A and B are shown apart, each in its own frame.
Chain A
Amino acid sequence: MNDAWPTGMQQAVDRLLAFVAQDGCTDAEFDALARELFALQYEHDEPYRRFCQRRGITPRRVNGWKDIPPVPISAFKDATLSCVAPEACERIFMTSGTTRGDVKGRNHHPTIAVWDQSMQRNFERRFMRATPRMQMLTLFPDEQELRNSSLARYLSLATRSFGTEGSRACVSTTGGLDIDGVCRTLEAAVAAGEPVAVLGASFSFVHLLDDLARRGLRFALPDGSRLLDTGGYKGQARELPLDEFYDGLAQAFGVPRERCINMYGMTELSSQFYDDGNARVPSVKSGPHWIRTRVLDPLTGREMPPGQRGVLSHCDLANFNSATAILTEDVGVAVDGGFLLLGRAEGAEAKGCSLAVQEFLEAARA
């Protein structure tokens, strides 16, 4: 398909698309594709190969997905993790770059088809469920405005694939949140008795809640309406405990907490995780059959026993070009049916007068 692609990549992409399209998979099937993609990355992704070599890992020594060395997400900032030259990639998603100043993590997508299919298949099952299409309002700029944002792509694709006419982005980089537009659309949905979905970054919901409270507005959205928030809101103007946040959503929109879905995704991956509502928090998150998660000791890389906190490591087969296995900075614990997301490992708080790394970084940037 593309001259710039290394040998074997097209076949891998074809296999992957078929794999994502199938209903579930066996452990052996998952391991086989994980091995194939690892071999591809080992051969063509130079910084990743060196990382593996330092650990003495070669494709011969990888039997299953758990043997693949997970790349720390900070490496997406320091190195170009790609089998294909960046200029030959259809899309490059970048992190917002909040933790290390202007250094942004980049995930290269030679073709966006895999990312798209992964998103659509999973979104359809976990968020749309039996509904083919519904009206969608997104609280985030459109992907035309933020070409390098995976969240913008996610929400635009959701609207395009599953939204009815009139679905749109209610936030723009220039105008901010169009609160009047949101209110008008929600009022119209209530009047028409048509369910509506509001999707966006968690911190946008916090702002929206504040705005609605200031106007003394509440909605009782029709049955079948649902909300999707993502990304958390740490470091934003206002931090809400999860219970308060979902109570606030339920009250402001008249949507029960079971229909307030949280999506957990990251630029460094090509697939997302969902919960089945937030009646209870923290909710159990799980992903589709092409992604698997372990809870690791961040330092030794050893798996933590079930029930013990560790750092989440995901093996996402849809991440075929950069690294299927990544090590996040998110703290979680393995439970039946998935994992609980407990927040970010921000580094230990310094207990005294030795300088905390984060504080130093902040000061150095100021």
Chain B
Amino acid sequence: MSTDTSTPWKAGHLPGVDPAAVHWQALRFDAHGRSVTVEVPVLAPQQMEALARHVRDAARRVLQPMPVDAVIDILDRAVARLLHPQEPLRQELDALLPVVTGYDAEMVRLGLTAYLQTFRAPQLHRFVTQDFANPKVLDGFQPALKGGAVRAFGPRLLAHVWAGNVPGLPLWSLACGLLVKAGNIGKLPSAEPVFASVFARLLAQEHPPLADALAIVWWKGGAPGPSEALYRQAGTVLAYGGNAALREVREQVPVTTRFLGYGHKLGVALVGRAALDMRRGPAAARSAALDLARFEQQGCYSPHLLYVERGGALAPRAFAGHLAAELAGLAHRHPRRDLALEESAAVAAWRQQVEWREGGELLGDERSSWAVAYSETPLPPAASPGQRCVQVCAVDALDDVVPLLEPHADFLQTVGLATTPEELYRLGELLGQAGVTRIAPLGAMTQPEPGWHHDGRFNLADLVRMVEIEHGAERAADRLAPYAQEDRP
């Protein structure tokens, strides 16, 4: 039994808007025997337009004159506070996120801490340097190699449409938006409206003028009114979601506005025979099990299939057994969240398909909160329903996986790879050609490094507009200087 003991938790962040004039929609969440009602703000189109103007003007006033190092400093201080277990806002997150997402509380706590560590100052500097050889282009004109000077401007207003699969996800694009000094308005995901709201509050506390340069809102997915009002004002629209959701957003974005869509992806892991001796094999299975359990495979980087090479001391079928045992252990340490009926039906349908397939073997019965399907023949990649359900296939050589992946290039992103250094680079070449954009070690598939190229793109460079002063313009200006000497070129 769950009881709602608390008053509704207010999400969102609306500088310059009277909260009493806004419609608040209640979203109810139940998990772990607790329930929380979160109220999210739904703005009328005119209110959204006013908010967009407010945020854009504040960003120009507050954020754009600030050196990028100062922005990094504010973000670093905010993240440092969230990393502190005694910080009240962190405690609020630790209390709310497990109820809102249904994920195991300890898994959320550990995952969030590991994630936040990638947003400290050194990592943020690396993040900026990754995209801009000279980060000062974000602050003013810098000499260009070809001559003249260049300067990077972020959009005056950046609109974010966030997804709620992994808690904390909005921090990626929000940090990017702030680093390029854009005004930011983010649309909360219905599935996790908490993190972004808390982070906005934290930034406002850390540097009060910043409070006006970002806003957090909500609307019902597909509702055209407020979203279109926002997209009309935005310089760039950035969205996460499935292809159907992205299509919907893209159709609303004016054709002259930059649209950046991050679609659904499918991760796989490749375990080479070098990792399959009696000592390393079980360790590899443990790492893979962690990749599967973290956020119940809901991340774009999460694995859905494992290809295991024959010829090691540990045969692929035995590896599947180790993996099953590790998942069984994790089920105790970090229990799977309760499944909604539709999620149960999806898991059941997946299990049935394995069961009725010729040569399909299923480890873990209906009562297990995980499942390993095993096949002696390699199967093409297919999405599992998540919730710790994974297909393990034996392959004669890891190279055999490449042609299986190639037809699905649009859906590829992360490959977890366990193999020798030479093979890492040789296979990396082949996998990259096939469409893969990130090769990670087993056990870290869900934790991309700072500065990674999300879906093979440039996180910051994709957001900015480069402005150049040509070398010729510089020379022409020289000729017009009051000190110019007519007879010298």
Please give the residue numbers on chain A whose beta carbons come within 8 Å of chain B beta carbons, in ascending order. Answer: 47, 51, 54, 72, 74-75, 78-79, 297-301, 309-311, 329, 331, 345-357, 359-361, 363-364
Other-chain contact of A350, B298, B357, B407 (Cβ < 8 Å) = B298
B248 in contact (CB, < 8 A) = no
Q: From A75, A299, A364, give the contact of B366 (CB < 8 A).
A: A299
**How far is it, in angstroms, between the C-alpha of A54 and the C-alpha of B407 when the chains are bound?**
35
Complex Cα distance A349/B190, Å?
A: 12
Q: Which residues of B contact A351 (CB under 8 A)?
A: 163-165, 189, 191-192, 298
A353 close to B263 (CB less than 8 A): yes
Residues of B within 8 A of A360 (CB): 266, 382-383, 411
Can you list 19 A-B contacts (CB < 8 A)?
A51-B356, A78-B353, A300-B367, A311-B348, A345-B341, A347-B343, A348-B345, A349-B342, A350-B165, A351-B191, A352-B169, A352-B191, A352-B240, A354-B265, A354-B266, A354-B298, A354-B383, A360-B266, A363-B243
A299 and B411 within 8 A (CB): no
Distance, CA A127 to CA B302, complexed state (A): 52
Other than the known A331-B342, A350-B298, A350-B386, what 8 A-B pairs have Cβ atoms closer than 8 Å? A51-B356, A74-B352, A74-B356, A297-B344, A299-B347, A301-B366, A352-B191, A364-B382
B173 at interface (Cβ–Cβ under 8 A)?
Answer: no
CB distance from A322 to the nearest CB of B (A): 14
- Indicate if the CB atoms of B382 and A75 lie closer than 8 Å: no
A22 to B8 alpha-carbon distance, docked (Å): 59
Please give, as numbers and ranges, the residues of chain A lying within 8 Å of B352 by CB-CB distance.
72, 74-75
Kindly list chain B residues whose C-beta atoms are within 8 Å of the C-beta of A354. Answer: 165, 264-266, 297-300, 302, 383, 386
Q: Are A353 and B383 in contact (CB under 8 A)?
A: no
Q: Collect the chain A residues with CB atoms within 8 Å of residue B408's CB.
A: 363-364
* A353-B163, A354-B386, A359-B243 given; A348·B302 CB < 8 A: no
Q: Which residue of B lies closest to A330 (CB)?
A: B345
Interface centre among A54, A309, A350 (most CB of B within 10 A): A350
Q: Which of B192, B242, B341 is in CB contact (< 8 Å) with A356?
A: B242
Residues in chain A near residue B304, CB distance under 8 A:
355
Interface residues of B in 335-351 (CB under 8 A from A): 339-351
Chain B nearest CB from A237 CB (Å) reads: 16
Closest 6 CB pairs of A and B: A352-B165, A352-B163, A345-B345, A353-B300, A347-B346, A78-B356
A364 vs B242: C-alpha distance in the bound complex, in angstroms?
Answer: 15
B216 an interface residue at 8 Å Cβ cutoff? no
CB distance from B163 to the nearest CB of A (A): 3
Known contacts: A74-B356, A298-B345. The answer to whether A355 contacts B366 by CB under 8 A is: no
Q: Which residues, 140 to 188 on B, are CB-close (under 8 Å) to A?
A: 163-166, 169
Q: In the bound complex, what is the Cα–Cα distance between A24 and B87 (angstroms)?
A: 68
Chain B, residue nearest A76 (CB): B356
A352-B241, A353-B299 known; A347 and B266 CB under 8 Å?
Answer: no
B349 and A329 contact, CB distance less than 8 A: yes
> B455's closest neighbor in chain A, by CB?
A353
**Residues in chain A near residue B266, CB distance under 8 A:** 354-355, 360
Instruction: Given A75-B356, A353-B163, A360-B266, check contact A348 B297 (CB 8 Å).
Output: no
CA–CA, A310 to B340, complex, Å? 10
Say whether B242 contacts A359, CB under 8 Å: yes
Task: For A297, list chain B residues within 8 Å (CB).
Answer: 341, 344
Asked whether B478 is an interface residue with its Cβ less than 8 Å from the other chain, the reply is: no
Whole-angstrom distance between the alpha carbons of A78 and B344 in the complex?
21
Nearest A residue to B243, CB-CB: A359
Within 228-271 of B, Cβ neighbours of A (below 8 Å) are at 240-244, 262-266
When distances are taken between beta carbons in the complex, the residues of chain B under 8 Å from A74 are 349, 352-353, 356
Q: Is B316 an interface residue (CB 8 A)?
A: no
Tell me whether B383 and A352 are in contact (CB under 8 A).
no
